[in-house]
Amino acid sequence: MQNMTLQKKIFLVIAALFLLTMLYFSFDIARRTTFPGSKPNLKERIAPSSDTLK
């Protein structure tokens, strides 16, 4: 890495900052939302409705 030009170093710093920012926002969004399968089923969805085909 001794012969890297200044432009390559700037690119690597910006790329690393971008990746860290994207990882932070991905983690933040994932922490605030819940997986749909982990929610208990609503009584309205479980109860048999009269409009279903038999």
pLDDT digits (tens, 9 = 90+) for 2-50: 677 999 999 999 999 999 999 999 999 988 887 777 667 666 666 565 5
Place of tokens 């208990």: 40
What digits encode the pLDDT tens for the residues 7-19?
A: 999 999 999 999 9
Provide the pLDDT for residue 8: 95
Q: How far apart are CA 33 and CA 14, in angstroms?
A: 29
Q: How far apart are CA 19 and CA 27, in angstroms?
A: 12
Q: How far apart are CA 8 and CA 17, in angstroms?
A: 14
Q: Is 39 left (phi over 0), alpha (psi -120 to 50) or beta?
A: beta
**Burial (0-12, 13-18, 19+ Cβ within 10 Å), 46:** exposed
